[in-house]
Amino acid sequence: MRGANGKAVSAKTVWHIHELFRNVLNWGVRRELLSRNVAALVEGEDLPKNVTPKPVGLTAAELHIVLNEAKNPPKRAAMSGYASAQPWFYPALAFAAYTGARRGEVLAIRWSDIRFDEMTATIARSLTEELKFKSPKNDKARTISMPAQLVTILQIWRAEQAKGRLLLGSAYSNQDLVFAQVDGSCIDPAYFSDAARNCVKRAGVTPITLHGMRDTHASLLAKAGVPIEVIKDRLGHSSISVTVERYLDVYPERDALAAEAFDRLLG
C-alpha cells in the first residue's frame, strides 16, 4: 500500500486507518444510517504485521568519531556545498546527540530556550517539514540538563553566529533560532537528515539515520545505568512504557550487573 506521495505506508498507519474507519462505521450503525460495519469483518490477520523496528544506535566510540567528522569535514565536502559541512551542522548534530531531542525539536530551539547559567535547554516547540512551528510531540514542553561539553559547543557557536549576523545586518532574518541558515532562516528538516546521513557515511561507523542519534542518546544512558524514568523525561515520551518498549533490549545487560551486585552484597 502506498500513500499519495508514492511512499510505502507503514503497517502502523494501516492499523490506524482501519481503526478510524471501524469507529466511523460503528457510529453510522449506532444511528441506523448503516446496516452493518464492514470494517469489523476485517480480522487482525488480514492486516499487515505491525512490527516495531529495534532502535539502532552508536557506541560511545562511534559517536565520538561521527561528531569529530561533523566538526572537521573534509575540504571536498565544504567545496561541494554539502549540508554536513555547513557551520550550523556540527553544533546541531551535537545538540541532537547530547540531548536526545527529535529532529524538529532541534531545529526549533531558540537562544531564549537556552539557560547557560543553569546549563539547561527547554524543548517547547518543533519545526515541521512545512517549515512551520508547532508544539512538541505530546504537546508538553520539557526542560533538560545539558552536559558541560554541549554548553561549550553552543557558546562557541553563538559567538560565530553573531559574527555572521553582524555582517549581514538588516538582511539577517533574526528568529532567535539557535540553528539556522546563514541568513537566519529555518533549516529544512529533510536537509538536516540528509546531512546527518552523509556525515555518518563518511565516518564509516554503524549506519544510522538522524533519529539514530536519539536512540544513541537513550541507549548510552541506559547502559550507563541512568534510570529509565529519567531517560523517559529527557526524550519526552508520553509514558514510561513507550521508553521501556523501545529500549528494553538494553536492560538485560543492566539486569546481569544487578545480579552480580547482589552476589557481592551477600559475600
Question: How does DSSP assign 141-153, residue by residue?
Answer: -EEEE--HHHHHH
CA angle 193, 195, 199 (to 5 degrees): 120
How many domains does the chain divide into? 2
- Residue 162 confidence class, pLDDT cut points 50, 70, 90: very high
Shared-domain flag, residues 77 and 40: no
Residue 50, pLDDT score = 60
- Residue 20 confidence class, pLDDT cut points 50, 70, 90: confident
Residue 6, pLDDT score = 57
> CB of 85 within 8 A of CB of 114?
no
> CB of 87 within 8 A of CB of 71?
no
Distances (CA, A) of 206 to 58, 64, 214, 239: 6, 12, 14, 29
Residue 118, pLDDT score = 96
Shared-domain flag, residues 40 and 166: no
Shared-domain flag, residues 81 and 147: yes
What number is the average pLDDT over the span 60-85?
89
Say yes or no to pLDDT of 208 above 80: yes
Shared-domain flag, residues 152 and 34: no
- Residue 70 confidence class, pLDDT cut points 50, 70, 90: very high
Retrieve residue 254's grid coordinates.
543492566
| Phi, psi at 208, each rounded to 5° | -135, 165
Shared-domain flag, residues 67 and 106: yes
The 10s digit of each residue's pLDDT in 224-265 is 888 889 999 999 998 888 887 777 666 556 667 677 777 888
The model's pTM: 0.78
> CB of 106 within 8 A of CB of 112?
no
The 10s digit of each residue's pLDDT in 84-106 is 889 999 999 999 999 999 999 99
Shared-domain flag, residues 138 and 30: no
Shared-domain flag, residues 118 and 175: yes
Shared-domain flag, residues 119 and 153: yes
Own/partner contacts of 135-142, CB < 8 Å, gap of 24 or more, are: 136/102, 136/104, 136/105, 136/236, 137/102, 137/236, 137/238, 138/236, 138/237, 138/238, 140/236, 142/233, 142/234, 142/236
What ranges in 31-128 are assigned the alpha helix state H? Answer: 60-71, 75-79, 89-99, 103-108
CA angle 43, 49, 50 (to 5 degrees): 115
Domain of residue 173: give its range.
60-221
The answer to the question of residue 238 being in a domain is no
The 10s digit of each residue's pLDDT in 51-65 is 566 778 899 999 999
What number is the average pLDDT over the span 73-91?
86
The answer to the question of residue 21 being in a domain is yes
